[in-house]
């Protein structure tokens, strides 16, 4: 079947089987390989994208179910001039990534948190990111990056 | 002021920009024109004889190109083991064949039996379900001590499940036994170092691409060491000469050891791409990763510590059963031996040490190096038994360690287990730890916890590790079947920019940022004039890859050597351009000058002259500016440190909460402090994960019970605290040009005993004096049972 949606502000359409997952549609159909698949039980969160403004695990949504939706992926998070957005820049500034594989999902998940809760506590950040597994960073610098992107003094909070 | 560029600067990582914008290029992001997809049919039983494999239904299904079984690999080799161990009597270890697809028998749940190659992934998946595998199930061998008693054999042709019985050093045994007879006090501890599943977040992927036109092959794979894969697979498995085989490991999403090894799937797709004459891609699902990535740890150990009346260590004796799983993975045999026994002296002066290791075949996934690899196992047992001895003898756990430290003026220090520590200062890292962990405030914090009904405990320990395993000639004598050097080619371009082609591989470590910092410092040019190329055998010199915290210490040293050759040649060119003597040329801040004059020529002009040699000493000097170096270290490096953990235990539920974790490390010189701290954070999370959460569990039939993220407890953001890390105590390595030691594994090595020591401390202080040990992971149920047991 043909599936149409808006991805990163552009109208797109492509062929999908009934069983095609949104993550496969984005990666294989549209070539947007920034969305990663790290597990098959909806646990790791590497595949998080925004569907109509909500963070969802794209490995757990059928492409057909996202028909007509407004989807944002990591490729849509930079500023219009191509420079890193505030949250992305905070991840670089605070060394919130190492191998980079969980990073797209981490950024998308954190962006959804900050949209709902612009000044989260460290505990709130940690709780929100429970569904995103990182094996490299031990989370320390990820939590700092999210706090910093919210305009808080991450170094001070981490040292307390 | 902290530096803002070069060695010692926290330069921001350049690789982050592509990772943060979705432009990374991981293996699964690669799709080749005309590629077919592979899906493996895997054994669902742990042990059995294959009676029949019926592929006829599967082969008739839409899109199926071919269904492979072991018959399609007649004449091909097995996946080799990279290290031959000799047992106590000098006999070589038992070494079974590890076929690409199971031959005659299956030996673990997940063992590859057949593989479907089809036009699409979905078609391959559907057809894989239609392959009928008829297996006569045999009793599974799971428990190591049972396995060596007799009964079922994992490999019938070997006649035993005991791979080797290794003594280290065998000549130490008699004196060690004697020391135990005369000791004032002996502390004995039996423990389990729990089996772990590495779980790099990127699952493994392999794409084979055979070209009929050139009769050559390309393998794209998620590897930490593409050159080694090319050598092992080309020479030992598929008989493809290296000039006909290119291996590419592009962006790799974490490894932690699990992507060092040569896996059967790599050989499969490479061979299959020739058979079907199409590129063949295999992407591992996470469920399949749990069943096929090499697992880590899994030791069962008895350790004894003999002490004199003042708590001075007299002797250490250990007996360990080390699980090899069903086959010998690439470096499996080295992990419980030379990466474990050599570290049993720890940071301490102990006159007599004897280590015995029995490596055992079982019907489980092969076990191999995982972050730390042997050194966490050594550190855990040693630092746990020291804590227990301190308690038994009524000595403060920090004091007993201080009494036994190798002292700063005793380096180089020869241990009784073969290695010689070049440098260190264990008192200094302990002092630093006491400061950053605010140990003086512990009692106050304990009182606060008590008000909430919680038992607070403090665990402290030290660790030492050995990185950059070398030199090659020595490890060759010990059974290594590879060299352990590293390589670098430094290519200067005509307009002055540089490219470093390194045999090291970055999969999160930040080489693309840190390596240029070193060269920028050496030449005095901006870091952004230097690029790093890695991960492709076609454009990097033969190197051994990244593992064992070796990249900067070994790969960085090769790069320094190559850069020194570049500078030496550039000085000759500069001398010619300035009509001066070569010996008078100085290089500073990217400018060559003649000592004692105001004559100078800048870096760019010299580079241009090398490639446009109009004014150039052609009769004595080749044009161009490109040098290669291989560096083979003369010794290991020995990072060391002291760690502290504070926990709260809820005595009602057994729940343990980590309140704080502090790490004081001595990594020698530090190139990028930001990256080093990040490496420690990640190691700590894995070590705390081992101590608190993670366990690979098999039932008695060999079914993996912890086969998904629903069942295997990965550390998540709210399981962990902010860490306090410090690496200001620096005793530079004495034998490599950068004075660096390696930082990648320290956190995972040093942290498990701190957590368990803290839990035992909390229970002891809380009046539960009968609890002297709890095996990892210290889950609520285990702690509750210990309290109430």
CATH number at residue B134: 3.90.1170.50
Q: Complex ipTM, two decimals?
A: 0.98
Percent of chain B exceeding pLDDT 70 equals: 100
B15-44: per-residue pLDDT in tens?
A: 999 999 999 999 999 999 999 999 999 999
Q: Which two tokens stand for residue B47?
A: 């042990």
Distance CA B417, CA B344 (A): 7
Neighbour-count burial for B337-369, b at 16+ CB within 10 Å, e otherwise: bbbbbbbbbbbbbbbbbbbbbbbbbbbbbbbbb
With respect to residue B568, please indicate whether it lies within any of the assigned structural domains: yes
Distance CA B203, CA B729 (A): 37
Instruction: Give the pairing of strands B723-726 and B656-666.
Output: parallel
B650-673: per-residue pLDDT in tens?
A: 999 999 999 999 999 999 999 999
pLDDT of A43 strictly over 90: yes
Q: What DSSP string describes A40-52?
A: SSS-S-TTEEEET
Q: Do A139 and B717 touch (CB under 8 A)?
A: yes
In DSSP terms, B301 is beta-bridged to B191, B320
With respect to residue B161, please indicate whether it lies within any of the assigned structural domains: no
Question: B699: burial class by Cβ within 10 Å (0-12, 13-18, 19+)?
Answer: exposed
Q: Give the closest of A38, A40, A78 to B202, CB-based.
A: A38
CA distance A4 to chain B (A): 22
Distance CA B386, CA B384 (A): 5
Query: Tell me, what's the pLDDT at B415?
Result: 97
Q: Give yes or no: residues B371 and B336 share one domain.
A: yes
**Residue A28 touches partner B, C-beta closer than 8 Å:** yes
Q: Give yes or no: residues B448 and B422 share one domain.
A: yes
With respect to residue B9, please indicate whether it lies within any of the assigned structural domains: no
- Contact predicate B245/B217, CB 8 Å: yes
Chain B neighbors of A143, CB-CB under 8 A: 717, 722
Q: Do B682 and A138 touch (CB under 8 A)?
A: yes
CA distance A68 to chain B (A): 23
Question: Which of B717, B747, B755 to mutate against chain A (most A CBs within 10 Å)?
Answer: B717
Q: Give yes or no: residues B329 and B433 share one domain.
A: yes
End-to-end CA distance of chain A: 55
Q: Give yes or no: residues B95 and B207 share one domain.
A: yes
Q: Give yes or no: residues B432 and B343 share one domain.
A: yes
**Residue A73 touches partner B, C-beta closer than 8 Å:** yes
Chain B neighbors of A95, CB-CB under 8 A: 12-13, 674-675, 677-678
Q: Which two tokens stand for residue B369?
A: 């190096």
Q: What residues contact A77, with CB distance under 8 A and at least 6 apart?
A: A85, A87, A88, A107, A108, A111, B20, B21
pLDDT of B272 strictly over 80: yes
pLDDT of B332 strictly over 80: yes
Q: Which of B272, B292, B312 is the last residue of a domain?
A: B292
Q: Give yes or no: residues B431 and B316 share one domain.
A: yes
In DSSP terms, B36 is beta-bridged to B280
**Taking phi first (over 0 means left), then psi (-120 to 50 degrees means alpha), and beta for anything else, what does residue B646 get?**
beta
Q: Give yes or no: residues B376 and B496 share one domain.
A: no
Q: Which two tokens stand for residue B142?
A: 């799971």
Number of structural domains in chain B: 3
Q: Which of B613, B631, B649 is the last residue of a domain?
A: B631
pLDDT of B532 strictly over 80: yes
Q: What DSSP string describes B172-241?
A: GHHHHHHHHHH-SEEEEEEEEE--B----SSPPEEEEEEETTTTEEEEEE--S-HHHHHHIIIIIII---
**Residue A124 touches partner B, C-beta closer than 8 Å:** no
pLDDT of B1 strictly over 80: no
Distance CA B713, CA B716 (A): 9
> Tokens 């030791």 label which residue?
B299
Alpha carbon B607 to its chain centroid, in Å, reads 39
Query: Tell me, what's the pLDDT at B659?
Result: 97
CA distances from B652 to B279, B314, B439, B452, B645 (A): 58, 40, 27, 12, 21
Q: Which two tokens stand for residue B10?
A: 């926290």
- Contact predicate B113/B101, CB 8 Å: yes
Q: What residues contact B71, with CB distance under 8 A and at least 6 apart?
A: none
Which of 511-570 (B) contact A at CB < 8 A? none
Q: Do B717 and A34 touch (CB under 8 A)?
A: no
Q: Do A142 and B202 touch (CB under 8 A)?
A: no
Q: What DSSP string describes B700-766?
A: TT--BS--STTTS----GGG---EEEE-------SSSTT-B---SSHHHHHHHHHHHHHHHHHHHHT
With respect to residue B177, please indicate whether it lies within any of the assigned structural domains: no
Neighbour-count burial for B179-195, b at 16+ CB within 10 Å, e otherwise: bbeebeebbebebebbb
Cβ neighbours, 10 Å, residue B247: 26
Which of 50-69 (A) contact B at CB < 8 A? none
Entry pTM? 0.97
Share the mean pLDDT of chain B. 97
**Residue B685 touches partner A, C-beta closer than 8 Å:** yes
Q: Give yes or no: residues B409 and B556 share one domain.
A: no
Distance CA A137, CA B679 (A): 7
Q: Which two tokens stand for residue B385?
A: 């038994």
CA distances from B447 to B80, B121, B141, B442, B765 (A): 57, 60, 49, 9, 12
Q: Give yes or no: residues B619 and B736 share one domain.
A: no
Q: Give yes or no: residues B350 and B326 share one domain.
A: yes
Q: Give yes or no: residues B763 and B733 share one domain.
A: yes
Query: Tell me, what's the pLDDT at B747?
Result: 98
Q: Do A158 and B722 touch (CB under 8 A)?
A: yes
Query: Tell me, what's the pLDDT at A160?
Result: 85
Q: What CATH number has the domain bearing residue B497?
A: 3.30.365.10
Instruction: Give the pairing of strands B498-502 and B530-533.
Output: parallel
Q: Give yes or no: residues B502 and B619 share one domain.
A: yes
Q: Give the closest of B200, B253, B681 to A140, CB-based.
A: B681
Mean pLDDT of B183-201: 98
With respect to residue B433, please indicate whether it lies within any of the assigned structural domains: yes
Q: Which two tokens stand for residue B291?
A: 């069943």
Q: Which of B612, B631, B650 is the last residue of a domain?
A: B631
Q: How many residues does chain B have?
A: 789
Chain A neighbors of B199, CB-CB under 8 A: 135
Mean pLDDT of B533-558: 95
Q: Which two tokens stand for residue A10?
A: 């552009």
**Maximum Cα interatomic distance, chain B, rounded to a whole number of Å:** 86
- Contact predicate B618/B573, CB 8 Å: no
In DSSP terms, B602 is beta-bridged to B591
With respect to residue B147, please indicate whether it lies within any of the assigned structural domains: no
Which residue on chain A is closest to B29 by alpha carbon?
A: A33
Query: Tell me, what's the pLDDT at B789?
Result: 84
Question: B538: burial class by Cβ within 10 Å (0-12, 13-18, 19+)?
Answer: exposed
From B532, B493, B527, B498, select the one nearest B512 (Cα to Cα): B532
H or E stretch at B287: helix B286-292
**Residue B723 touches partner A, C-beta closer than 8 Å:** yes
With respect to residue B475, please indicate whether it lies within any of the assigned structural domains: no
- Domains of chain A, with CATH numbers? 2-76 (3.10.20.30), 86-159 (1.10.150.120)
From B589, B560, B591, select the one nearest B574 (Cα to Cα): B591
From B9, B361, B437, select the one nearest B163 (Cα to Cα): B361
Which residue range is the domain that position B740 belongs to? 299-469+635-788
From B663, B88, B684, select the one nearest B341 (Cα to Cα): B88
Question: A41: burial class by Cβ within 10 Å (0-12, 13-18, 19+)?
Answer: middle
From A45, A33, A2, A32, select the one nearest A20 (Cα to Cα): A2
- Contact predicate B657/B648, CB 8 Å: yes
Chain A neighbors of B683, CB-CB under 8 A: 138
Query: Tell me, what's the pLDDT at B4?
Result: 87
Q: Which two tokens stand for residue B441?
A: 């405030």
Residue B150: pLDDT band with limits 50, 70, 90: confident
Distance CA B713, CA B736 (A): 40
Give phi and psi for B723, each to the nearest 5: -100, 155
CA angle B99, B100, B105 (to 5 degrees): 50
With respect to residue B3, please indicate whether it lies within any of the assigned structural domains: no
Residue B557: pLDDT band with limits 50, 70, 90: very high
Q: Which two tokens stand for residue B121?
A: 């992934």
Residue B273: pLDDT band with limits 50, 70, 90: very high
Q: Which two tokens stand for residue B550?
A: 């070796």
Mean pLDDT of A45-62: 97
- Contact predicate B206/B220, CB 8 Å: yes
pLDDT of B469 strictly over 90: no
CA distance A112 to chain B (A): 16
Distance CA B289, CA B198 (A): 9
B408-452: per-residue pLDDT in tens?
A: 999 999 999 999 999 999 999 999 999 999 999 999 999 999 999
Chain A neighbors of B674, CB-CB under 8 A: 95
A127-138: per-residue pLDDT in tens?
A: 999 999 999 999
């Amino acid at each position: 079947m043909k599936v149409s949606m808006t991805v990163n502000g552009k109208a797109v359409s492509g062929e999908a089987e009934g069983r095609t997952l949104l993550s496969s549609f984005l990666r294989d159909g549209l070539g947007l390989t920034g969305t990663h698949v790290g597990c098959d039980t909806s646990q790791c969160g590497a595949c998080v994208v925004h569907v109509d403004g909500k963070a969802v695990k794209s490995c757990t949504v059928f492409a057909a179910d996202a028909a007509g939706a407004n989807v944002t992926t990591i490729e849509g998070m930079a500023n219009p001039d191509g420079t890193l957005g505030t949250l992305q820049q905070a991840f670089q500034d605070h060394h919130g990534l190492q191998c980079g594989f969980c990073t797209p999902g981490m950024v998308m998940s954190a962006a959804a948190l900050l949209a709902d809760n612009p000044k989260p506590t460290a505990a709130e950040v940690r709780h929100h990111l429970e569904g995103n597994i990182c094996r490299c960073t031990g989370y320390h610098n990820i939590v700092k990056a999210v706090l910093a992107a919210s305009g808080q003094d991450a170094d001070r909070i981490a040292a307390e | 002021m902290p530096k803002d560029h070069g060695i010692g600067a926290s330069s921001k990582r350049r690789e982050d920009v592509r990772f943060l914008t979705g432009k990374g290029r991981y293996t699964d992001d690669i799709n080749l024109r005309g590629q077919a997809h592979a899906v493996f049919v895997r054994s669902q039983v742990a042990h059995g004889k294959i009676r029949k494999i019926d592929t006829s239904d599967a082969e008739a299904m839409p899109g199926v190109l071919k269904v492979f079984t072991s018959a399609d690999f007649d004449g091909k080799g097995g996946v080799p083991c990279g290290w031959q161990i000799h047992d106590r009597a000098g006999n070589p270890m038992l070494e079974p064949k590890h076929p690409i697809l199971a031959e005659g028998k299956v030996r673990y749940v997940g063992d590859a039996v057949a593989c479907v190659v089809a036009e699409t992934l979905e078609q391959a998946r559907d057809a894989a379900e239609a392959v009928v595998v008829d297996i006569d199930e045999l009793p599974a061998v799971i428990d190591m001590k049972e396995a060596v008693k007799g009964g079922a054999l994992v490999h019938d042709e070997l006649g035993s499940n005991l791979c080797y019985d290794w003594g280290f050093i065998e000549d130490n045994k008699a004196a060690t036994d004697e020391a135990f007879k005369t000791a004032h006090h002996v502390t004995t501890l039996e423990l389990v170092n729990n089996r772990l599943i590495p779980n790099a977040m990127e699952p493994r992927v392999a794409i084979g691409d055979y070209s009929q036109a050139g009769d050559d092959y390309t393998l794209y794979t998620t590897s930490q060491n593409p050159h080694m894969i090319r050598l092992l697979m080309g020479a030992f498995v598929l008989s493809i000469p290296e000039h006909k085989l290119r291996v590419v490991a592009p962006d790799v999403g974490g490894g932690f050891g699990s992507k060092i090894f040569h896996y059967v799937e790599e050989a499969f797709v490479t061979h299959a791409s020739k058979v079907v004459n199409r590129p063949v891609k295999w992407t591992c699902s996470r469920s399949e990763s749990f069943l096929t990535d090499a697992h880590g740890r899994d030791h069962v150990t008895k350790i004894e510590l003999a002490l004199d009346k003042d708590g001075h260590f007299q002797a250490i004796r250990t007996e360990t059963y080390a699980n090899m799983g069903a086959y010998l993975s690439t470096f499996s045999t080295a992990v419980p031996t030379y990466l474990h026994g050599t570290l049993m002296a720890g940071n301490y002066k102990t006159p007599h040490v004897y280590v015995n290791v029995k490596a055992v075949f079982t019907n489980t996934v092969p076990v191999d190096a995982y972050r730390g690899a042997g050194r966490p196992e050594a550190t855990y047992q040693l630092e746990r038994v020291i804590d227990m001895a301190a308690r038994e003898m009524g000595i403060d756990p920090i004091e007993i360690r201080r009494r036994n430290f190798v002292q700063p003026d005793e380096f180089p220090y020869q241990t009784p287990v073969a290695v010689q520590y070049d440098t260190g200062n264990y008192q200094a890292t302990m002092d630093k730890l006491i400061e950053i962990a605010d140990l003086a405030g512990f009692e106050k914090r304990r009182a606060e916890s008590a008000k909430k009904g919680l038992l607070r405990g403090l665990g402290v320990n030290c660790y030492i590790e050995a990185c950059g395993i070398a030199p090659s000639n020595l490890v060759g004598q010990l059974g290594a079947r590879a060299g352990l050097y590293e390589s670098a080619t430094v290519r200067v371009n005509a307009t002055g920019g540089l490219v470093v082609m390194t045999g090291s591989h970055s999969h999160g470590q930040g080489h693309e940022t840190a390596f240029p910092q070193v060269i920028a410092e050496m030449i005095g040019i901006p870091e952004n004039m230097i690029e790093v190329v890695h991960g492709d055998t076609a454009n990097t010199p033969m190197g051994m890859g990244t593992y064992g915290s070796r990249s900067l210490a070994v790969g960085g040293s090769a790069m320094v050597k190559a850069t020194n050759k570049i500078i030496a040649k550039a000085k000759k060119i500069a001398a010619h351009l300035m009509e001066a003597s070569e010996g008078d040329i100085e290089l500073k801040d990217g400018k060559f000058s003649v000592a004692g004059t105001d004559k100078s020529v800048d870096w760019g002009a010299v580079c241009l002259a090398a490639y446009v040699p109009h004014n150039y000493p052609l009769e004595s000097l080749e044009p161009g500016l490109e040098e290669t170096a291989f560096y083979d270290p003369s010794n290991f490096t020995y990072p060391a440190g002291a760690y502290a953990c504070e926990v709260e235990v809820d005595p009602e539920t057994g729940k343990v909460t980590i309140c704080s974790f502090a790490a004081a490390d001595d990594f020698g010189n530090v190139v990028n402090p930001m990256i080093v701290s990040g490496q420690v954070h990640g190691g700590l999370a894995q070590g705390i994960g081992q101590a608190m959460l993670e366990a690979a569990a098999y039932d008695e039939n060999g079914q993996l019970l912890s086969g998904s993220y629903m069942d295997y407890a990965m550390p998540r953001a709210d399981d962990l605290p902010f860490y306090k890390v410090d690496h200001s105590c620096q005793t530079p390595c004495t034998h490599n040009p950068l004075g660096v030691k390696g930082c990648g594994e320290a956190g995972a090595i040093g942290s498990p005993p701190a957590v368990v020591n803290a839990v035992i401390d909390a229970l002891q202080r809380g009046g539960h004096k009968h609890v002297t040990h709890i095996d990892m992971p210290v889950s609520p149920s285990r702690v509750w049972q210990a309290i109430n047991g």
